[in-house]
Amino acid sequence: MKITVSDKAHNWYIDEMGLEKGDGVRFFGKVYGKTEVHDNFSVGINVGTPTDPLATETIDGITYFIEKSDEWFFKGYDFQIEYNDEMKEVSYHFKKQ
């Protein structure tokens, strides 16, 4: 399981969430919504520090991560975060491993 965050998405998180070096962004599954591979679940995010990470990517001192407790949501997929120029926000993609 791997996380990749595009440069444009990384900059969007910094601008939108006021992130600074040393911060972390956690991704997790939450009830309601839809993803490319889940019905009734969507991607949630919060600012935090990894305690038991399943996957991480650190860019400019900011760590993007998924905790092992959220493996059920991401199992079998690599998780890609891109910036959608048309919508002017990030988009999430699940790529089968």
**Which domains, ranges and CATH numbers included, belong to the chain?**
3-96 (2.60.300.12)
pLDDT at 33 over 80: no
Q: What is the pTM of this model?
A: 0.92
Contacts with 88 (C-beta within 8 Å, 6 or more apart), sequence order: none
Token pair of 91, please? Answer: 């988009």
- Average pLDDT (33-46) is 74
Task: Report, as an integer, the average pLDDT of 3-14.
Answer: 98
Cα–Cα dist 8/59, whole Å: 12
Q: What per-residue confidence (pLDDT) applies to 20?
A: 95
What integer is the mean pLDDT of 46-75?
96
Q: Which pLDDT value is given to residue 85?
A: 94
> Angle at Cα 78 formed by Cα 48 and Cα 76, nearest 5°?
110
Coil, helix or strand for 49? coil
Assess whether pLDDT exceeds 70 at residue 67: yes
